[in-house]
Amino acid sequence: MNPELFLIYPLIGMVSGVIAGLLGVGGGLVLVPVLMYSFRLQGYDPSLVLHLALGTSLAVIVFNALSSIRAHQQRGAIRWELFAQLTPGLLLGTLLGSLLAAQLNTLWLQRIFGTFALLVGLQMLLMVRASGRFTLPGAWGQGLAGGLVGLVSALVGIGGGSMTVPYLSACRVDLRQAVATSAACGLPIALGGTLGYLYTGWSNPLLPAQALGYVHGPALLSIALLGMLFAPLGARLAHSLPVLTLKRLFGLLLVLLGARMLFSAGL
């Protein structure tokens, strides 16, 4: 393995941080495919590169979520009562999702990720918005919603914002509060998913020496640090660049990426 390939991790962190700050999206949708291809370049076993990318992405999101919670809490926008209602389901869903992912081969995980990226890309490209036609369900309904968001998030290695924000907005939660609460919900999603991927990959003999379970240590440290440093730059650029146009372009990129992953997986 060429040690110079490790230089790609800080670059990934810088790019993902700017995108997250600029567009309010990114996370696993950026990290998972890039990490997967970088792990392939390093010659890691093809049967585990996507599992390793998913686990590492969720571990990075732990740090991103902590940074986001601090920023949103300063503005008093987080609905902590909604966070408390969703968290049990989020934790259970992500644990189940990571356990399910361990039973799926790379091709099936590619199909799941590709389909999800395609749908999110179309939503961004067409600017589809939730209409606020529903009301928030009770505790059991919130738990079920959290479980579904957590399950899918663990399977695709994301913080769940692309599902949590539309869900809360559809339930008549103010958009600013929906975004802030979704950012807070990224923490239990990432923690539950990371623990699950650590557990399921712990004894895999094919993992590289730099990995702890399905979490790649050097990638985690570099991407988390650089992402947190460069996210404020993206936030500043958001005030001077045409964000709506950039979101549509990013949506098109996700559509192409999702289609490519589905095609390479045999669909």
Question: Mean pLDDT, consecutive 10-residue segments, the chain of 267 residues?
Answer: 68 80 69 90 91 95 83 84 96 95 93 92 80 83 95 92 88 86 90 95 91 94 86 72 77 86 79
What's the pTM value of the predicted model, to 2 decimals?
A: 0.90
Confidence at residue 99, expressed as pLDDT on a 0 to 100 scale: 94
Residue 145 structure tokens:
């919603």
Name 228's Cβ contacts closer than 8 Å, sequence gap at least 6.
17, 63, 64, 67
Confidence at residue 116, expressed as pLDDT on a 0 to 100 scale: 93
> How far apart are alpha carbons 39 and 16 in whole angstroms?
17
* H/E element, 212: strand 211-212
Confidence at residue 93, expressed as pLDDT on a 0 to 100 scale: 96
Confidence at residue 77, expressed as pLDDT on a 0 to 100 scale: 84
Cα of 58 vs its chain's centroid, Å: 6
Domain boundaries, the chain: 3-264
Confidence at residue 13, expressed as pLDDT on a 0 to 100 scale: 84
DSSP E strand stretches across 76-132: none
Residue by residue, DSSP assigns 214-245 as TEEHHHHHHHHHHHHHHHHHHHHHTTTS-HHH
